[in-house]
Amino acid sequence: MNRFVVAVLVIILAGAAIWQPSQETRAVVAEQKPEVGFEAPHFSLKGLDQQTYEVSGKRGKPLLINFWASWCGPCKMEAPDLRKLHEKYGLQIDFYGINVTSSDSPESAAAFVKQYELTFPIPMDLTGQVASRYWVQAFPTTYLVDKQGIVRKKIIGMVDAKYLEAELKKLLEDKGPLR
Q: Check residue 32 and give its pLDDT.
A: 85
Please indicate whether residue 27 or residue 117 has the higher confidence score (pLDDT). 117
Mean pLDDT value of segment 60-67: 97
* pTM of the model as a whole: 0.81
The strand order across the sheet containing 141-145 reads: 94-99, 63-68, 141-145, 151-156
Q: Check residue 3 and give its pLDDT.
A: 72
What is the overall mean pLDDT for the chain? 87
Q: Provide the Cα torsion 58, 97, 135, 177; round to 10°.
A: 50
Q: Check residue 79 and give its pLDDT.
A: 98
**What are φ and ψ of residue 173, in 5° steps?**
-70, -20
Is residue 4 very low, low, confident or very high in pLDDT (cuts 50, 70, 90)?
low
User: Do residues 67 and 140 touch, judged by C-beta distance below 8 A?
Assistant: yes
Find the helix or strand (DSSP H, E) in which 71 lies.
none
User: Do residues 12 and 128 touch, judged by C-beta distance below 8 A?
Assistant: no
Is residue 10 very low, low, confident or very high in pLDDT (cuts 50, 70, 90)?
low
Is residue 16 very low, low, confident or very high in pLDDT (cuts 50, 70, 90)?
very low
* 86-to-35, 81, 124, 142, 164 alpha-carbon distances in Å: 23, 8, 19, 14, 11
DSSP assignment of 20-46, as one string?
SPPHHHHHHHHHB-SSTTSBPPPEEEE
Q: For each of the domains in the chain, give its residue range(s) and CATH number, in order of start.
A: 33-173 (3.40.30.10)
Give the angle 122-113-87 at the CA atoms, nearest 5°. 75
DSSP assignment of 99-131, as one string?
E-GGGS-HHHHHHHHHHTT--S--BB-SSSHHH
Find the helix or strand (DSSP H, E) in which 82 lies.
helix 73-89
Mean pLDDT value of segment 80-90: 98
User: Do residues 143 and 151 touch, judged by C-beta distance below 8 A?
Assistant: yes
pLDDT digits (tens, 9 = 90+) for 92-140: 999 999 999 999 999 999 999 999 999 999 999 999 999 999 999 999 9
Q: Check residue 31 and give its pLDDT.
A: 74
